[in-house]
Structure 1
């Protein structure tokens, strides 16, 4: 059901709206530096910031534009309250591991706060309590169990009786003194400091491989080379996997966000429902005007084709809870989840100690990205860090990691086979302007998109990563792979990895007759 208020046609987060983000040139020559960082989001830029502060020569390579990936599409909560995890961590890994995870993220929060205060960064940083709430009896009991975990771990928080919304809540829990901010304003200031302290940044520079050795070399798509003492892979999905099997050890989720204007003032706090579908709430300031950021509706990438309904559902929820004046922004984000729900941060493999990776933040990248930057700094400077083993990518817990490894890869195989066996029934004439669909051309599975003027774009739907078949995403107008989360534009260009090559494209005007039975070529 569509919301009462019309959704914005443009899919764009407001974080980048009316902000002067510096632009940087493409890398045109070879470089030698102390550290090369691949990825210009919060992980890469925070890493560059802490390393230039240590006097190291740093280069940042960004494939697109800075802060335009997952960082630019976040809800920007800085918190150690990462859904219902602490009871699960205690049961699976013990009190010590669970406590270390909490401490690592709280240290990251304090680092961000200190950085904001030290440099007087105007980024709407605000200390807020974070809440989890349930609307069902089943999850009310889970919240009670989570509260017991808080008590065991000494977490500042516990059960609360209500939350300040017109939502029928069965139970809720608070974690005190968390925070929210404007991530792009924060990072825009760090970028200036990185430049001032000798760091170099390149945009539109795609890293495609690493030559390993005592001094590894990052090779770009254009053939330029950056040699360094350390390579940091901060590109959401690792641009280079080595033998780390990251594709097999993570899965990709998409989630959705709308920003609404409401007649009444938003109360304090950040909120997340633990029932399904999840609903996330926080406030934000946009040029002095209050917005409410409403998120949720997660699903595995490529396994939900009518994503426009996810936006509509968030719009309907907003109108049920608030007096909505207008829905002013909508956007989506993609996140990676590891087998045991703890990010992989550290040496990409045990035999490549000078290539470091940070990935698998499970929608909680604002704090975990800063954990990664601080951990990278200590590894590079050969300092002790008590969180190193916790986040080590080479860890492998028998329970539940082995079970999740088998389930994740069984799901990949299922979708690989399913895509190959599907027989598309549509032809180009069945597709309305502004929509896309899978069609059959001479018995071969292809993807077609027809723009508002009726121009048709044809691509091969076979993902260039491992060959799974992409599905059409109607809400985003993209081709999404259900196996490892690669995403492509309707013209076939790579939007998100692990795929590096675009989908094969076909010129529709060169085809004599495209139908479900006969393409003419």
Structure 2
């Protein structure tokens, strides 16, 4: 794909459409601070939690490691739906019908909360009510959808099952399950409105301030040595920055998925779609500011640091799909996202451990964090405000009930980590720095030592040590994102060594290429 689009400047580095919107900027935290509630993480959970708590009269300080909304929230497909592909039969099997019904209602409540909040604050965030459909193109996928439809019936979820061809899509389907009155929106427009409201309510907001340590459960230590003293800490940093005992990374699977936003010469299908078959294909329309209707195609996910091909191929696969079935003729934006999935597919939201009543966490949204992100913010707020909440037990991070298959997956995952560690550490470079062309990276040998090299578009060479600062795994080059990715636990670093995604909190060691 790189050769195919080499003459288009926008393909040099990924950029999310949502992040082209102007976002308020805030200063770094350069002095020690005290607050009632410290919220770590500037995505949908962190911002909505800070807003709800500030609205409730709490003194709040929101801290983001990089730019606000630059994480998963700024790289989502931005569907607000209770239908994250196939999930309800799984929850019934793992828990029971009551818990599955609660999960459905939690997503519906999140959808309503986003809608009500945007209405109350008069935020124009392109909120649109849409039907959501999960579809299959194989007989095996059709059987899964029919099984899911039976789960819907047990739970009293209203939906329409279509067997055979779905007329709204331009390709053959074997079955589809449609849930009405779901929604889509522009997440950055919505959360920008909340940032302004947090500021108006007296909340403090800092960016470019990375939390690296939690001391005595109430003092957050920043990378620059400054401290935030809190009564309660909310860890909404996507991956818990304070998972020093490995409680969470052993139970979370971390993956990357991709998206392209394209121009389409034909009318777009009405509604939102996601495939039940693999590789995943996710579809929705996007209304640009000039009124033009664009098509967002997402999917093609893989475990972080473990793509079976050049990572650029994942964008190519989405484009090929769009050209084949929608006659797409121009790529406007492209981006990717990092997602985490728990063993039982439900997020961890609430008290982080039994021993830490003043530390709350929200993580593991299974690639579906908009509606559940809003509900999580409300749950965390209710816990802090000592209010009852129907989802407290459902999402409790300390819950322990898993199916045997989930326990088996836990052991397989952690056994695989050991293999990945050995494989990545033993990988030897085949290049030297002089072999790297402009905008090219990979493992290189420098005076017999393995390093990570990237030569930028101006010809400048960047060298880093490719040992992950989390637990020492070797890193793999991600050509699509120009990043160094860890196949063991999913940490990611820029070509300059900066932390992009946890669990790592410490940057890579830089090497002077002139020495």
TM-score (norm 2): 0.95
Partner of residue 17, structure 2? 14
Q: Tell me, what secondary structure is at the counterpart of 1:232?
A: strand
Determine if contact 1:435/1:451 at 8 Å carries over to the other structure.
yes
Q: How does 1:207-222 map to 2 (within 5 A)?
A: 207-212=211-216, 216-222=218-224
Partner of residue 96, structure 2? 94
Match of 1:123 among 112, 125, 132: 125
Partner of residue 360, structure 2? 356
Tell me how far apart the structure 2 counterparts of residues 68 and 493 of structure 1 sit (CA, whole Å).
14
Tell me how far apart the structure 2 counterparts of residues 383 and 401 of structure 1 sit (CA, whole Å).
32
Partner of residue 182, structure 2? 178
Partner of residue 472, structure 2? 467
Is structure 2 residue 73 aligned with structure 1 residue 71? yes
Shift of 1:201: 0.5
Q: Return 475-484 or 316-325, whichever deviates more.
A: 316-325
Match of 1:406 among 411, 418, 421: 411
Q: Tell me, what secondary structure is at the counterpart of 2:35?
A: strand
Partner of residue 385, structure 1? 389
Tell me how far apart the structure 2 counterparts of residues 226 and 504 of structure 1 sit (CA, whole Å).
27
Q: Tell me, what secondary structure is at the counterpart of 1:246?
A: coil
Determine if contact 2:475/2:487 at 8 Å carries over to the other structure.
yes
Q: How does 1:361-376 map to 2 (within 5 A)?
A: 361-376=365-380
Query: Deviation above 6 Å: which 4+ runs of structure 1?
Result: 1-7
Tell me how far apart the structure 2 counterparts of residues 127 and 164 of structure 1 sit (CA, whole Å).
17
Tell me how far apart the structure 2 counterparts of residues 330 and 457 of structure 1 sit (CA, whole Å).
24
Tell me how far apart the structure 1 counterparts of residues 506 and 75 of structure 2 sit (CA, whole Å).
23
Determine if contact 1:243/1:349 at 8 Å carries over to the other structure.
no
Tell me how far apart the structure 2 counterparts of residues 61 and 454 of structure 1 sit (CA, whole Å).
35
Is structure 2 residue 494 aligned with structure 1 residue 494? no
Match of 1:415 among 414, 417, 420: 420
Is structure 2 residue 448 aligned with structure 1 residue 479? no
Tell me how far apart the structure 1 counterparts of residues 329 and 402 of structure 2 sit (CA, whole Å).
51
Tell me how far apart the structure 2 counterparts of residues 487 and 284 of structure 1 sit (CA, whole Å).
29
Partner of residue 518, structure 1? none
Q: How does 1:40-55 map to 2 (within 5 A)?
A: 40-55=42-57
Tell me how far apart the structure 1 counterparts of residues 181 and 436 of structure 2 sit (CA, whole Å).
51
Q: Tell me, what secondary structure is at the counterpart of 1:165?
A: coil
Shift of 1:444: 3.5
1:172-203 C-alpha deviation (Å, 9 max, x unpaired)? 11111111000000011111111111111111
Is structure 2 residue 317 aligned with structure 1 residue 290? no
Partner of residue 308, structure 1? 312
Determine if contact 1:340/1:401 at 8 Å carries over to the other structure.
yes
Partner of residue 447, structure 1? 452
For residues 486 and 4 of structure 1, do their structure 2 counterparts lie closer, same or farther at Cα, with a shift above 3 Å needed? closer
Determine if contact 2:261/2:331 at 8 Å carries over to the other structure.
yes
TM-score (norm 1): 0.94
1:372-408 C-alpha deviation (Å, 9 max, x unpaired)? 1011011111122121111111112241432222111
Shift of 1:442: 4.7
Determine if contact 1:244/1:349 at 8 Å carries over to the other structure.
no
Partner of residue 426, structure 1? 431
Determine if contact 2:428/2:443 at 8 Å carries over to the other structure.
no
Shift of 1:243: 4.0
Partner of residue 62, structure 1? 64
Shift of 1:121: 1.4
Tell me how far apart the structure 1 counterparts of residues 160 and 96 of structure 2 sit (CA, whole Å).
20
Shift of 1:497: 1.1
Q: Tell me, what secondary structure is at the counterpart of 1:282?
A: strand
Determine if contact 2:29/2:209 at 8 Å carries over to the other structure.
yes
Q: How many residues align?
A: 507
Determine if contact 2:243/2:503 at 8 Å carries over to the other structure.
no
Gaps of 5+ in 1: 511-521
Shift of 1:244: 6.0
Tell me how far apart the structure 1 counterparts of residues 112 and 132 of structure 2 sit (CA, whole Å).
15
For residues 450 and 20 of structure 1, do their structure 2 counterparts lie closer, same or farther at Cα, with a shift above 3 Å needed? closer
Q: Tell me, what secondary structure is at the counterpart of 2:111?
A: helix
Tell me how far apart the structure 1 counterparts of residues 51 and 286 of structure 2 sit (CA, whole Å).
25
Tell me how far apart the structure 2 counterparts of residues 508 and 5 of structure 1 sit (CA, whole Å).
30
1:141-182 C-alpha deviation (Å, 9 max, x unpaired)? 101101111111111213124141221111111111111000
RMSD (Å), alpha carbons: 1.7
Determine if contact 2:37/2:230 at 8 Å carries over to the other structure.
yes
Q: Tell me, what secondary structure is at the counterpart of 1:502?
A: coil
Determine if contact 1:157/1:174 at 8 Å carries over to the other structure.
yes
Determine if contact 2:2/2:312 at 8 Å carries over to the other structure.
no
Partner of residue 325, structure 1? 329
Match of 1:113 among 112, 115, 131: 115
Shift of 1:83: 1.4
For residues 34 and 178 of structure 1, do their structure 2 counterparts lie closer, same or farther at Cα, with a shift above 3 Å needed? same
Is structure 2 residue 161 aligned with structure 1 residue 156? no
Q: Return 305-314 or 425-434, whichever deviates more.
A: 425-434
Tell me how far apart the structure 1 counterparts of residues 33 and 498 of structure 2 sit (CA, whole Å).
28
Partner of residue 279, structure 2? 277
Q: Tell me, what secondary structure is at the counterpart of 2:270?
A: coil
Determine if contact 2:344/2:402 at 8 Å carries over to the other structure.
no
